[in-house]
Each structure stands twice: as C-alpha cells, then as structure tokens.
Amino acid sequence: MKSRPVSLVLSKFLLTALLAVLPLASTATLQAGEPVSATPGIREFSCIAWDNLPCPELFYRQGNRYVPIKLSPGQRSQAYPLKDAHALELFFLKERAADSGKPASSDNFELAGLAPLLPEAKRMLFLIEVRKDFNGLPLQLRGMDDSVETFPAGSFRFFNQTPNLLRIEFGGATLDVPQGEAKVVVPALTAAGGFLPVIIKDAEGRNILENRFFAQRTGRELVVISPPVEGRTEMSLKIFSDVIPASPTPPKKASSPR
C-alpha cells in the first residue's frame, strides 16, 4: 500500500452522473487504552508507518519470540502472523548481542507501542505514528479490521483523524464520520474504473475540500484525513492504495462504533 500525494486545490468539477453504491460499513478502530478482547480472532496483521521511526529496527512479540518487521515510510508492510495474543506489542531493539549468531534476550528489547485487537477480526491493519500514546510509549498505534469482508476490493475507507465530525459525499453516498472513526463506501464502477468527485464538509454542511479520487475494481484506498500541518490551513490527506483481487462479497452492514 503506497502513499501518493493528493492535490488540495479545490476543484469545481463534478461528474455528470454518480453510480449506485453498495451498503456502507462502519469500521471500528482501536488504540492503546481501550478494552482488550479476551478471545481475539486475529490471525495476521500488517502495518503502515507514516514517518521514519526513531529506531531503524522494529519487532513484534509472538509468544516468546521477537519477530522483525520490515517497514518503509508510507507503504504497507507484508502480512505477519499473530496468534493467541490479546494485543499487538511492538519493540525497539536497545542493543545487539556481542555474538551476532546468538538471539537477543528479552532484556534487549524495549516496548515501543501496543494496541488491542478487535475480537472478530481475522486480519488487521495498524497505523503507526511517531508520537506518545495513552501509556506514554513513543509510538501510537491505531488498528482497524483489514478483512476483505469489511474493506473489499473497489472500496474507499475514510478515516477521520481531525477533532471534529466530517461529512463526506462520495460515490453517491453521504458519510458522517466522527472523530477517530472510519467508514467504507463501495461505488459501482466500470471495468476501467474512473475518477469520482469527493466533497468533505464540516458538521454544519460547509465545504472544506473538493477533489476527485481515482477508483478501480481491483484497488482499495485508505484515505486518512488529518488536521492541517503546521504552517498550512488546509486539511492533510494521505491515501494508501492496496491492489487485491476483486471480491464478490459486499461489505458488512453498518455497526455501532467501538
């Protein structure tokens, strides 16, 4: 999943017709400090780190083992197995053992971030930010259900990281996305795909941003909406693209936020 730049210049272009959409799915997200399931169903996970990490190596704990994770800023990592765990625990390696052939002990690892698991998720995606979390750890993790049933091919997931509710008009649907939540919309598309207009409004219905996103049947797009970066007035958008085989399964029905 790669991040690509998004033009924030307001566009007045609207397509003359919008295609019908499949039912919407509200997707829960979890971060440190929220309840942890006693019977997690997750089987694998992947990560996206937005920035360079303070330490070049990152590990996660699987039972008694510390498994390295390969990360490139703005790109989705490969999928890693995670079984019989209640949370994803990420670690920095404080120092390497003198003998490179000898595995480092648990004393060589420092907890860098953690997040609970969604109880029914078989696959999760974790967004990693270099900022202190609820527990004072250096990495803040936000996890969400990454299954194709919830986030299918051809869909867009809008994740609101601003402090306010956002109203998003996209693909013939209107989404009210509260702070810290994500919602999915699946527009009907031609085989070739195409550009669809998106309008982001505040809770009072005032336009904040107009743009167009390219949609295709074999891709799914995570759109992270954040407050303006320092020195700017427009919202910050990050789009992470993932190409997967088209799924015949529609997304789950809307569920209550967790």
Does 232 score more than 90 pLDDT? no
Task: Give phi and psi for 106, each to the nearest 5.
Answer: -60, -25
252 inside domain: no
Are 8 and 42 in the same domain? Answer: no
- The one-letter code for the residue type at 212 is R
131 inside domain: yes
pLDDT digits (tens, 9 = 90+) for 180-213: 999 999 998 888 899 999 999 999 999 999 999 9
Are 133 and 230 in the same domain? Answer: no
10 Å CB burial of residue 160 (0-12, 13-18, 19+) is buried
Are 106 and 193 in the same domain? Answer: no
Domain CATH for 15 = 2.60.40
pLDDT digits (tens, 9 = 90+) for 56-99: 789 999 988 999 999 988 889 999 999 888 899 999 998 765 55
Residue 160's nearest CA partner among 227, 207, 110, 98 is 227
Question: Average per-residue pLDDT in the chain?
Answer: 80
Q: Which residue has the tokens 């295709």?
A: 216
Average pLDDT score over residue span 103-114: 85
Q: Which two tokens stand for residue 114?
A: 């953690």
- The one-letter code for the residue type at 112 is A
Does 156 score more than 70 pLDDT? yes
pTM of the model: 0.77
pLDDT digits (tens, 9 = 90+) for 207-230: 999 999 999 999 999 999 998 877
Q: How many domains in the chain?
A: 2
Does 150 score more than 60 pLDDT? yes
